[in-house]
Chains A and B, each alone.
Chain A
Amino acid sequence: MGLRDLLLGRRKLKEASTDQLFALSTARVTLETELGLRPAGRAGICFKPLSAGEFARAAGELAELLTVAARDSDSRVTQSTDEHGFQWIVVDDPELEDLITTVHLVGTDLAARGFGAQLLAAVFRFEGRERPVYWIYGYKRAAFWPFVPTGRGQERDNAEELKLKAQLEGELPVEQDLTRWLGLFGAPV
C-alpha cells in the first residue's frame, strides 16, 4: 500500500493470483509415494458473491462455461452456498490434473470479468490417512497450506499440518505466515 493510499484511506482489495496452482500437480508424486496421500477426486472453489446484478450474470455465464468444460473432461460440477453466505463450485473428477485445470479456469474467468478479488480459496481433498487432508490454495496469498480437521467441532490437527508443511515445502509454495492458514470447516469438499 502506497503512502498516498494510506493517507487517503483507500486500501483496495487484492486481486486473485492463480499462478501457483499448478505447483500442486508437481507435488503430487511426493504426496502419493512418500506421504501416502492420494487425490480424492474432489476440489472446491470458494468465493464471496457480490450482491450486484452484474455479478449474478457473470456467475451464470461461468456456470455455463463450466458445464461445457466439464463435458469435455468428464468431470461433474455442482454449486452450493455455505452457512457463511460464500458460494462454492465443487468439481468431481478422478484426475488431479483436470481438477486443477477447472479450478484454474474458474479463477482466470472470474478475474477476466473483473471479479478476481471475490475469490477466497480453492480446496483440494486428499485421502489415504486416518483423516482426510486438505490442501487449501489462498488466491490472495498465491500459496498453499494444509488443513486437517479432526472432526470434533472446529478443531484442527496442527501437529499434522506442520509436519505436512515441512515435508512439502521444497515442492509446493507453502504459506509461511501461520496466522494466514485459514481453516474452512464444513467445506462441501
Chain B
Amino acid sequence: MKRSAFGRDAGLSVRMLLTSGLLGLLYVVFAVVLFSILNVGLVAMLVIVGGLALFQYFTSDKLALASARAKVVSAEEAPELHAMVERLCALADLPKPRLAIIDTDVPNAFATGRSPKHAAVAVTRGLWERLERREVEGVIAHELSHVGNRDVLVMTLASFFAMLAGVLVRFGMYGGLLGGGRNRDSNGPPIWLIVLVVSIVTYAISFVLIRALSRYREFAADRGAALITGAPENLMSALQKITGEMARIPQRDLRQVESMNAFFIVPTNIRSRAAGLLQTHPPTEKRLAALAEIAREMGRPV
C-alpha cells in the first residue's frame, strides 16, 4: 500500500477551491460596487472592519474559551489528557496546544487559536467520561487537524468582507431611517438604498458560501484525524456516540453551549430543521460515509 494513496481527496479540493473562488469573486464585485458609489468614507470603514477582524483573530482563543466557560488545565490536573495530546502532537509535528475542560455532560470538543503556537483545544467532561480513550483520541486528532490546517485564519479571512457587508447593512438601515444620504441625481434611487441592497445580497450569498467552506473544512479535519490516528473507525464511533448521546440529553443542557456551535466537532443543534446549506457542519451520516471511504482507501473496510 502506498501511503500517498490517501491523504487527499480530489473532489473535496475542487469543491473547496470553487467555494473560495466564488467567495473571492463575490467580494471583488462587492468592493468594486462600493468603491464606485461610496468613494468617500469607505476607507475609514475598511479600517474599522479590518480592525475588528484583527481583534477577533488575535483574541479568538480567549473569546472562545471564555464563552464556552472552558477552564485551562495543567498537566498535573489532567495527566492522562495531556499525555494523549502530547503524543498525537508529536505524531502530527505540531506544538502542544493549551488544553481546557468544559464542565458539561454533553460530549463535545473544539479547537481555537490563530496559529498552532497559540492554539487551544477544549474537551467537555462528558466527552472524557462517555467515550472510550481511542474514540477521544480520534476527536482530539480532528481538532488538531483544524489547528494544523489553520482553520481560524482561513475562516477569518473568508468572513472579512461578509463582516463589512454586515456592518454596511446596519449602516444603510440607519441611513434610511434617518433619511440621510443625498441622491446623486434626482431620478436614481438613493445611494444608501443601493448600498443596503448590495450589502444584503453580498451578506446572504457569502453566508451560504462560508458555511459551505466550513463544512468542507470539517471533512478535511476528519481526514486529518484518520491520518494522525491511523484508525478512522475510532472517529466514526466517536461521532456516532456524540450524536447519539446528544439526542438523549435534555435540550436545556445543550443551550448553554449553543453559541459555540461552529467550533464544536458536532454542533449541538442537531434537532434543528435548518436546511443543509446553512449548517456549519456536514450531516453526521455524510461524515461517516466519507470516513468509511478513507478506511477503505487505507485498506480496512468498515
Q: How many residues of B contact A (CB 8 A)?
A: 53
By beta carbon, the residue of chain A nearest B300 is A52
Contacts of A6 in B (CB 8 A): 149-150, 154
Judge whether A183 is part of the interface by a CB distance below 8 angstroms. yes
State which of A14, A51, A86, A154 has its C-beta within 8 Å of the C-beta of B231.
A51
Mask: chain B, 72-112; 1 = CB below 8 Å from A; 0 = not: 00011001001110110111110110000000000000000
Judge whether B44 is part of the interface by a CB distance below 8 angstroms. no
Contact A51 B230 (CB under 8 A): yes
Mask: chain A, 39-64; 1 = CB below 8 Å from B; 0 = not: 00000000011111111000000000
Contacts of A185 in B (CB 8 A): 83
Interface residues on chain A, size class = 35 or more
Q: Which of B221-242 contact A (CB under 8 A)?
A: 221, 223-224, 227-234
Contact B86 A182 (CB under 8 A): yes
Known A-B contacts A120-B91, A140-B93; A8 and B231 likewise in contact (beta carbons under 8 Å)? no
A13–B300 CA distance with the chains assembled, in angstroms: 19
Q: Which of A171-185 contact B (CB under 8 A)?
A: 177, 179-180, 182-183, 185
Contacts of A179 in B (CB 8 A): 95-96
Contact A13 B149 (CB under 8 A): no
Judge whether B1 is part of the interface by a CB distance below 8 angstroms. yes
Contacts of B300 in A (CB 8 A): 51-53
Judge whether B212 is part of the interface by a CB distance below 8 angstroms. no
By beta carbon, the residue of chain A nearest B117 is A179
Contact A138 B7 (CB under 8 A): no
Task: Identify the stretch in A18-26, A71-79, A98-106, A111-119 within 8 Å (CB) of chain B at 4 or more residues.
Answer: A111-119
Judge whether A129 is part of the interface by a CB distance below 8 angstroms. no
A10–B149 CA distance with the chains assembled, in angstroms: 7
A22–B152 CA distance with the chains assembled, in angstroms: 40
Judge whether A9 is part of the interface by a CB distance below 8 angstroms. yes
Known: A54-B298, A120-B87, A140-B91. 10 other contacts (CB 8 A): A8-B13, A8-B16, A10-B9, A13-B228, A14-B93, A50-B231, A50-B298, A51-B232, A51-B234, A179-B96
